[in-house]
Chain A
Amino acid sequence: MKFNTQDGQAFEIADETLKYFTKVCKTNVETLNLTSINSRIMKKVVQYCEIHQEDDIIPEIQKPLLSNNLYEIVGFKDAEYITNLEFEELLHIIKAAELLGINTLVDLSCAQFAIKIRGKSPEQIKSYLSSKMHKTDEEFQRQRDGENMAKIQQMQSSD
């Protein structure tokens, strides 16, 4: 089966790999245009399926996580595959895996995502995510409160 990514690159996926693409593997479509997945992410997705080509079953990941060390939670090759990925990359992989129905990859990516925020303070999580996060209502509120406080201080000093 052939997949065309957002940036125009084509990926030929063999049947052994395609078995993980649960949403498309049983269709008769020969070519699929993936308008929301770029080639870099698609490569990672395909890589995941390839490393599991020989596997009959991929064990479910325990919930909630009991360790921050992914190597203690999943198999070595999965841990090798997913660690060191940035948040943004994880996010795209989750979306791609979700779109293609690669459920075990969704789980693995979610687990890695959770590891990155597990035990972290809200401030740390915010700073991790801040590059892509829009300003929250809370932040707007804090900003407004800050402005009000400044006004009050100004009024008090003028008194």
Chain B
Amino acid sequence: MFKNLPRHIVLDILQYLSIQDILRMRRVSRQLWMIIQAHYQMGLFQCGSQIDLSKYKVKGVMLQIVAKDSGVSKHKPMQNYLMKLCSGRIELSYYDSAYQRVGSDEIVYVVQRGKEKEIVRNLEIVGFSPSSISSQMDCHQLYVQLSKISIESILILLIQKMSINSSHISVQVGPFYEGEGAWSLSLKALINKQAATQQLEQLQKQTGGNLDTEWGFVLALKTIDGKAQELQKFLNEKFNPILEEENITMKTHSEGTALWLSFQLKPEEMEEIKEGFNMVFAQGLEEFAEKNENSIQMLLSSNTDFTFASELLKKGDRLMSVVMKSLKFVLKLDLAQDLAQTIKSVLENLEPDAANEPPMSLFLKFKNFKVDLEFKSSDDCPEFIRQNGFFGKKIQKWIQDGDAAIQDEQGIAILKQIQENLPNMEIDFYFTIPNFLAVSGNAKLPGVAQFLLEYGNIIDKL
């Protein structure tokens, strides 16, 4: 029906609608959306209020970014742009062409083309509703999981979020790890049955059949200081019994400096994850099917991580390419935020007071697809440790008062052991669901365990 109306009338109608309603029009008709884009001369993006985390509930951002011309050079300004915007370093007034708060936890920013000349001129930023994804992981659910927290469940929690993120995510934690405590992942997401099977076969072969690779996730910890066997022994003796109480099987395999761990998840948990993936795929596919072949080709060719997807494209299997592309898109852009929020929520839940005290106030900054988590001022952190102790005030007092039970001492020991090793570790990980998905990645996570150890009261949850 819009097609039957003169363009200016269409725009007249749109003037009566909110930005959110206008954004929604992109799914009503492509032609209508083109009129909107052309008229407003703007890149739009909608974000789940990452601008000021203290004021809003963060659910994560879903961005769909399409570079109008090819070339990786466009990613850099985009990264800078998001980083600045999300860390609040750009005053809103600079982008004051229009912005509108929608609801209690959602903001739509309208950025006029030309205002940020180097960025939006070459990029088209379109936002869409995050509801289908964010509903999977609300705070309530998170805290329910945390009520029975263990190192393993923290890892699962992170891996669950992380594994469905592609490309590079870096997390910087702690006062001493700034600049070095990077956790970068490079995932190859394979939703191809054959590729997943090959991955598993290779993994089985590599670990001499000592691991459960049927389903679950496997970590390969590469120590660079030769503590693999020591850590393996420790984990088998101390950590495994705790996991067994939760009906989770951990198997280990060491080889030189590498230590492999496999965690076999309960089938029902795996089903939940599957459902989550299905939602992501469905959403991504629907979104991405709107795009034409050329844009897929362009984006695939600009992403070296997705060589597999490129191969599929070469074979002319467009649908699979679309799926792959959707995967990349949704996972790369949206859930990276989710991961950051998860980490933040975990940390805040562990030590709520610490997160709110001025020298320790956490903030997240999103560097495009990279997520950095750091303290506001690293200079203040040693002072905090001096005042509050290595484990944080609460735990320090708890230990000093002699309230630590045997189980808790074990927990501290486990954390210490991991702490001693993890800072120097590099991890390869594989996340597999047979015939459905295999995600592999590499992570360098110096400092994460130490960070959790120092500032988290997770020990009393063990």
Contacts and interface: CB of A to CB of B under 8 A. Distances in A.
A106 B317 CA distance: 49
A64 B18 contact: yes
Nearest to B193: A156
B220 interface: no
A110 interface: yes
A132 B1 contact: yes
A94 interface: yes
A130 to B, nearest CB: 9
Given A106-B9, A122-B24, A122-B28, A117 B3 contact: no
Interface in A93-150: 94-95, 98, 106-107, 110-111, 113-115, 117-122, 125-126, 129, 131-134, 136-138, 141-142, 145, 148-149
A152 interface: yes
Nearest to B16: A114
B290 interface: yes
Interface string B422-454: 000000000000000000000000000000000
B402 interface: no
A117 to B, nearest CB: 7
B39 to A, nearest CB: 15
B13 A110 contact: yes
Nearest to A92: B4
B320 A152 contact: yes
Contacts of A137: 30-31
Given A122-B24, A148-B318, A106 B12 contact: yes
Interface in A53-112: 61, 63-65, 87-88, 91, 94-95, 98, 106-107, 110-111
B24 A121 contact: yes
B28 A111 contact: no
Interface residues of B, number: 31
Nearest to A152: B319
B314 interface: no
B76 interface: no
Contact of B17 (A95, A117, A131): A117
B4 A132 contact: yes
Given A110-B9, A114-B17, A149 B290 contact: no
B318 A136 contact: no
B319 A64 contact: no
B29 A136 contact: yes
A145 B1 contact: no
Interface string B293-304: 000000000000
Contact of A98 (B6, B24, B27, B30): B6
Contacts of B15: 63-64, 110, 114
Contacts of B83: none
Interface in B312-339: 317-320, 322
Contacts of B318: 148
A134 to B, nearest CB: 7
Contacts, number: 93
Contacts of B9: 94-95, 98, 106, 110
Interface in B276-308: 285, 289-290
B144 interface: no
B405 interface: no
A129 B289 contact: no
A126 B31 CA distance: 13
Nearest to B319: A148
B2 interface: yes
Contacts of A88: 1
B16 A110 contact: yes
A25 B29 CA distance: 37
Interface string B24-45: 1111111100000000000000
Contacts of A121: 24
Contacts of B290: 138, 141
Nearest to B23: A122
Interface in B37-68: none
Given A87-B1, A129-B1, A122 B17 contact: no
A148 to B, nearest CB: 4
B352 to A, nearest CB: 37
Contacts of B322: 145
B237 interface: no
Contact of B5 (A94, A117, A119): A94
Contact of A125 (B14, B28, B317): B28
Contacts of B268: none
Contact of B16 (A111, A120, A142, A152): A111
9 contacts: A63-B15, A94-B5, A106-B12, A113-B16, A120-B24, A129-B1, A133-B2, A136-B30, A138-B290
9 A-B pairs closest in CB distance: A114-B16, A122-B27, A148-B319, A129-B1, A132-B1, A110-B13, A110-B12, A63-B15, A137-B30
Given A91-B1, A152-B319, 19 more contacts: A65-B16, A65-B17, A91-B4, A95-B9, A106-B12, A113-B13, A118-B17, A118-B18, A119-B21, A122-B24, A122-B27, A131-B1, A133-B29, A137-B31, A138-B289, A142-B289, A145-B319, A149-B319, A152-B317
